[in-house]
């Protein structure tokens, strides 16, 4: 085993210890399975997606904080959500390029 692998295992171990400590401190009754280096395929409760996200993909970008602030204000002013505003903007973009608005 090379030194990089050893370092990676140590980092993972520290992260798992922190995750376990945070879970214990939260006072939650149920247990969460935390993947270990020996068993990377362990599924956790935290990885489950809500049914509304099944079959969906994330569309993301990095923007100036002012953009996010303005989107939040617009969502509040329109009694809407950022998700709805982004869907509207994508549909407008699709229309502009003569494509079916499917967002």
The pair phi, psi for residue 34, each rounded to 5°, is -105, 125
**Alpha-carbon span 18 to 41, nearest angstrom:** 20
Domain boundaries, the chain: 3-48, 50-103
Distances (CA, A) of 82 to 8, 73, 78: 37, 9, 10
Q: pLDDT (tens digit, 9 = 90+) per residue, 28-42? A: 765 556 666 655 555
pTM surpassing 0.75? no
Which residues of the chain have a pLDDT value below 70?
Answer: 1, 5-16, 29-47
Average pLDDT, the chain: 81
Q: What is the pLDDT of residue 17?
A: 72
Strand runs labelled E in 1-103:
none
Q: Helix or strand or coil: residue 78?
A: coil
Strand partners, 36: 39
CA distances from 51 to 54, 55, 56, 85 (A): 5, 9, 10, 21
**Closest of 74, 78, 58 to residue 66, by C-alpha:** 74
The pLDDT value given to residue 99: 97
- Please tell me the predicted confidence (pLDDT) of residue 80: 96
């Amino acid at each position: 085993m090379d030194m990089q692998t050893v370092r990676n295992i140590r980092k993972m171990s520290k992260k798992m210890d922190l995750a376990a400590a945070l879970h214990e401190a939260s006072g939650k009754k149920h247990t969460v399975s935390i993947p270990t280096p020996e068993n990377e395929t362990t599924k956790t409760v935290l990885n489950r997606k809500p049914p509304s996200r099944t079959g969906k993909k994330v569309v993301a970008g990095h923007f100036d904080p002012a953009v996010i602030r303005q989107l939040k204000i617009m969502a509040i002013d329109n009694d809407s959500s950022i998700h709805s505003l982004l869907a509207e903007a994508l549909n407008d973009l699709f229309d502009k390029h003569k494509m079916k608005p499917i967002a």
